[in-house]
Structure 1
Amino acid sequence: MTPTPHDHRSHYILVPGFWLGAWAWDRVAPALRDSGARVTALTLPGSDSPDTARDAITLDDRVDAILAAVRTTAEDEDVILVVHSGAGPVGYAVSDRVPEDLARVVYVDSGPMPHGAALRPDLPDSTVEIPLPTWAELEADGNSLDGLDTADLEEFAARAVPEPAGPARTPLDLTDDRRLELPTTVVCSSFPAEVITRMAQAGHPMAAELARIRHVDYVDLPTGHWPMWSRPDDLAAALLDAVRS
C-alpha cells in the first residue's frame, strides 16, 4: 500500500559546519529520535580525522556524501536536510541536485548562496586546509561563542578537524530552479530573523538567495553560532516544529 502523507515519518539528515563531525549533533539527535524520526548525522569527507589527506577533497565529494544519505531514505520517510554554518552551500547544492527527494531544508545559523558564489574565494590554490582559528579570531569574524562553557570549548578544540580548503573556495554550480520551491527554514542564532530578512530583501550577498526561495520560515533562536551545544533542546524543538509547519 502506498503510504499517505500522514503515515510518513521524518528522516533528519544533520550536517555540521566547519571543523565538525557527526558528533556535533549528539545533544540534538536524541530528542528527534524520541519523536519517532530517523536521524542520520554526517561527518563530511575530509572531516573524519586530523590525519586525513585533504588536498583532493572536492565540493562534489561533500555533495555526494549527503546524496548517499538521502538515498537511504525509505518510501514512507520525508527527508529534512539540516545544515549548519559552512555546510549551508553544500546543502543548497544538494537541493539543486535532488529537489524532488527533499521535503524541507533547514539552515542553522547558515543559508544558501547563489550560483557562482563560494564561501572562501580568497583562498589560494596552494591552501590545502583551514585549521580551527583561535576563539578570539572566531569571534572577530562574527562567530559568537555565546552559550558555550569551558567544557564545550575544550571539547570543540580537542575534536575539531581542519577544514578542506577545496570545497570552501569552489563556486556553486546551480542549474535546477526547482530548488526554489522547496520549503525552507532558517534558524537565526547570531542575528535575529528581522535582520536576516532585511538583508535578503536588500540583496546582501550572504542572504540574497533567500529572497528567491518561495517559502521561507524564519525562527529566532538567540544564542551563539553553535546552538546545537548552547541550546540543544530548543534547537531540536525548532527542527520538529519546522516539519509541523
Structure 2
Amino acid sequence: MATYLLVHGAWHSGRIWDRVVPLLTAAGHRVLAPSLTGHGERSGSLGPGVGLDTYADDVVRVLTGEELTGVVLVGHSYAGMIISAVAERVPERLAHLVYLDAMVPEDGENAIDVIPMTRFLIDQAARTDEPWRIPPIPEMPPPAGLFGVTDPADVAWVRSLLSDEPVRCFEQRVRLGNPAAAAVGRTHLHCVGGVDRERRPAPAGAQVWELPTGHDCMVTMPVELAGLLQKLA
C-alpha cells in the first residue's frame, strides 16, 4: 500500500480533500492532507511573511516528522510550486510527484511567471488597506463556477473552506536543479471539463492523464481521482 500526501492549492485548506481521503484509506493506503500555514484550522497564522518557503517547510515538516518515505506527493493548482520546492529538499522521501491541474515551474520562476494573471490579483490587493492579502477569486457563471465547482451545495461547502492568500507566496521564486529531484517520477493530471486554459507541456518522461471536470476535481470527481491516484501505488 502507498502513502499519499495531498497538498491543497491557494486559498483552500486540507479539508478540500475530504471526499478523496476516505476512498484511499478504505483501499488500505495511508493518507495525509494537512492545512498549510494560514489556512483552515491554521488561519490565525496568516501574515505578510508567509510565502512559498513557508509552505514548503510545512510539507517537509510532515514528511520528516512522520518519518515518511516512498510518498506519492500530490500538489493541486498553486501547490505545483510547493511540491517542486519540496522535491528539491527531500527527494529521497518521495516515490512520485503528481501535478494536479497544477502550476509547473522552471528554475527561478514564481507563480506570476507561470500564470501571469496572478499579477492582476496582486495589483488589486495593492489598492487595499492590506496590500499583502489577496482574497479568494469570486464565483463565476458556469462552467467556471467557484474553482470549477458549480453545484450550489458544493459551492457553499468549498466557499466555507477558503481563506485569503499572502502576496508573498506568489512572488517567491522556486530554485530547482537537484538531480535527485529530477529523477522522481512525475504525473500531470489535467482537469479538462471546465474553462479552457493554456497549459505548459509536461516535461519529457512525465505521464499525462485527464479528468473531464473542473479545477477542484477532488470535489466534483473524487471517485475518479482516487482511482487514478491508486494507479501510482
Q: TM-score range by the shorter chain?
A: 0.7 to 0.9
The amino acid of 2:82's aligned partner reads V
The amino acid of 1:13's aligned partner reads L
Structure 1's unaligned 5+ residue stretches are: 1-8, 200-205
Alpha-carbon distance between aligned partners in 1 of 2:23 and 2:140, rounded to the nearest angstrom: 32
Deviation at 1:10, TM superposition (A): 1.4
Deviation at 1:27, TM superposition (A): 0.1
Distance 1:74 1:159, change over 3 A: closer
User: Could you tell me the TM-score, scaled by structure 2's length?
Assistant: 0.83
Aligned to 1:41: 33
Asked if the contact 1:104–1:183 (Cα under 8 Å) also holds between the matched residues in 2, the reply is: yes
Give the share of equivalent positions with the same residue, in percent: 27
Q: Does the alignment pair 1:145 with 2:148?
A: yes
Q: Does the alignment pair 1:154 with 2:156?
A: yes
Distance 1:234 1:136, change over 3 A: same
Match of residue 133, structure 2, among 129, 135, 139: 129
Deviation at 1:58, TM superposition (A): 2.3
Match of residue 237, structure 1, among 220, 223, 227: 227
The amino acid of 1:159's aligned partner reads L
User: Could you tell me the TM-score, scaled by structure 1's length?
Assistant: 0.79
Aligned to 2:47: 54
How far does the alpha carbon of each residue in 1:154-211 deviate from its partner, in whole angstroms, 9 at most, with x for none? 112222101122111111122313222111111111379xx99xx8xxxxxx525x32
Deviation at 1:138, TM superposition (A): 10
Deviation at 1:53, TM superposition (A): 3.6
User: Secondary structure in 2 aligned to 1:42?
Assistant: coil
Structure 2's unaligned 5+ residue stretches are: 114-118
User: Secondary structure in 2 aligned to 1:120?
Assistant: helix
Alpha-carbon distance between aligned partners in 2 of 1:111 and 1:186, rounded to the nearest angstrom: 10
Alpha-carbon distance between aligned partners in 1 of 2:54 and 2:209, rounded to the nearest angstrom: 30
Matches within 5 A, 1:59-78: 59-74=52-67, 78=70
Asked if the contact 1:73–1:79 (Cα under 8 Å) also holds between the matched residues in 2, the reply is: no
